[in-house]
Structure 1
């Protein structure tokens, strides 16, 4: 059991949400526990209760209660083989930020039974960038381009670009079945729920948040459609649920997909989720230069497309 901690907000943390501040300082504490101690009022800002969304100011004192977890801030050292793997998957890097081609199956951060993730790998790779933070997230099973900021000022700027819909995100995905003819715009509200088991699910619901995706057919195979998807909003599981709503779930999706379909494509060598964050376009916070990133497909996804092309004679 750790002792009560009083953490002072520094210049690089100004404007950060309280929940993100705690996630950074309590890296081995599950997210659900962090939100629980905030909700119960055990976390205090300047001796008062605060909401997770509260923006912190310079000099704020955050009281962090004892948590029955591994001591917060304990150094996490991921396997060297994984660090070497990520080194080879860096698509862009400078003094301010980094873009990595994340493999499917790798969490973006530790917690909830996972001792390390992408952000811990990067912190161990770059000794001069211990404060590196995720700019956005990808599901554990989704592969592709993800941005990490090395400075809080860069993180804030990129978050503002996300809020203003100024970062272009495009995905490549393989969907089971035949995509509806001339269908591109999918504008369906999504509601996030939690099952009794604790599993997080998302469903189309009029009570959900507005959600907009554009699907562009690249190739129609006999039993699957290769699609490019442009996200306008960035909700949890957005592509996966929007695709399912059209009767074409993502291949390899064990949450929203079809077991028999997944088994069929697994036999062709695709054991992971066929969803890849292929392209990112954003303005560099320091130079204002337009940055365009293309993340290559991983071997299994690439080979699956080749097999489908051969099978269909394309």
Structure 2
């Protein structure tokens, strides 16, 4: 059975660009319009001139303007691509219950641990793909930022291109603050309030990303505050000033206090010491974010509660 989205892709579409997509590259616009279509096919139809803007051929880097008429040719998608979301319907439905804020500009969820923010690297499903299924009427849904697959907590999604631009500008100017909670090995010193260590990202042949402190890396800064002490472990608040890949995880390791159950930068003996708490996931949670609303210009403060696994872990540590 062919889905409505697939039927739409099997006929010529004429789409008029609205203000939501103004300034977007034509290749990125097509990716959002032709969900599930391989990028290689999108660049092929652009190269062959099958995509027209105002009846003219364009290059992938062309940025669309309000009022542009885009001709999108029929595109046939393999059946396995059309149906890749069907086994994930339960997870997609679950995302509805993770929404902690939504208006006509932005949407925020308390992302569960174990779900990637987007598909790729062998993953066909991520948060953004799931939300697009949940909100088929939404013409624009894009990630404002990213958090690691095993990290839980607040994730912001823009529902308008203007909102995305405004929030990206706040990130660039360091006007958005994000606070994470992490359980780390050992007794964190109250004197250690900031770690400034340059980070260099390496991609292994497997596609796995490994980050290490390296003088040739990018400048990186994280601020820390002790929240609770448990003798062999400390609950800390980590506030990244820069936004590098795996930044908090590598900076805590560099400080000698790796995060509990971190499969890349952690300490197996520390994980074993936590067995009585029933912790079985990375203890890193995006708990709080503050930013200026892109439309109302009000200061927004969003909180995301810890999931039951993290709550149980802390309760067990306090009891002991």
TM-score normalised by length of structure 2: 0.80
Alpha carbons of 1:48 and 1:17: their partners in 2 closer, same or farther (altered >3 Å)? closer
Q: Alpha-carbon deviations, 1:62-101, whole Å to 9, x = none?
A: 999x999879888845634323322222111112211100
Q: Is the 8 A contact 1:17 1:56 kept in 2?
A: yes
Is 1:10 equivalent to 2:10 in the alignment? Answer: no
Matches within 5 A, 1:85-96: 85-96=94-105
Matches within 5 A, 1:235-250: 235-250=244-259
Q: Is the 8 A contact 2:26 2:64 kept in 1?
A: no
Q: Distance in 2 between matches of 1:254 and 1:103?
A: 17
Task: Determine the structure 2 residue equivalent to 1:173.
Answer: 182
Matches within 5 A, 1:130-169: 130-169=139-178
Q: Distance in 1 between matches of 2:254 and 2:201?
A: 15
Task: Determine the structure 1 residue equivalent to 2:283.
Answer: 274
Q: Alpha-carbon deviations, 1:144-179, whole Å to 9, x = none?
A: 001111111211111111111111111011111221
Task: Determine the structure 2 residue equivalent to 1:101.
Answer: 110
Q: Distance in 1 between matches of 2:139 and 2:127?
A: 13
Task: Determine the structure 2 residue equivalent to 1:203.
Answer: 212
Matches within 5 A, 1:1-314: 10-11=17-18, 12-16=20-24, 21=29, 24=32, 28=36, 56-58=63-65, 59=68, 76-77=85-86, 79-311=88-320
Q: Distance in 2 between matches of 1:262 and 1:166?
A: 35
Q: Distance in 2 between matches of 1:42 and 1:184?
A: 52
Report the secondary structure of 2:169's partner residue: helix
Shifted more, 153-162 versus 200-209: the winner is 153-162
Q: Is the 8 A contact 1:28 1:69 kept in 2?
A: no
Report the secondary structure of 1:234's partner residue: coil
Q: What stretches of structure 1 of length at least 5 have no aligned partner? A: none
Alpha carbons of 1:300 and 1:61: their partners in 2 closer, same or farther (altered >3 Å)? same
Shifted more, 177-186 versus 290-299: the winner is 177-186
Q: Distance in 2 between matches of 1:227 and 1:273?
A: 14
Q: Distance in 2 between matches of 1:22 and 1:193?
A: 30
Report the secondary structure of 2:167's partner residue: helix
Shifted more, 155-164 versus 234-243: the winner is 155-164
Following TM superposition, by how much is the alpha carbon of 1:242 offset from its aligned partner in structure 2, in angstroms? 0.4
Q: Distance in 2 between matches of 1:177 and 1:92?
A: 36
Q: Distance in 1 between matches of 2:127 and 2:153?
A: 12
Report the secondary structure of 1:79's partner residue: helix
Report the secondary structure of 1:208's partner residue: coil
Following TM superposition, by how much is the alpha carbon of 1:214 offset from its aligned partner in structure 2, in angstroms? 0.1
Q: Distance in 2 between matches of 1:255 and 1:22?
A: 36
Q: Is the 8 A contact 1:28 1:115 kept in 2?
A: no
Q: Distance in 2 between matches of 1:43 and 1:262?
A: 55
Following TM superposition, by how much is the alpha carbon of 1:15 offset from its aligned partner in structure 2, in angstroms? 3.2
Q: Distance in 1 between matches of 2:48 and 2:316?
A: 54
Alpha carbons of 1:27 and 1:8: their partners in 2 closer, same or farther (altered >3 Å)? same
Count of aligned positions:
299
Alpha carbons of 1:125 and 1:217: their partners in 2 closer, same or farther (altered >3 Å)? same
Q: Distance in 2 between matches of 1:24 and 1:272?
A: 32
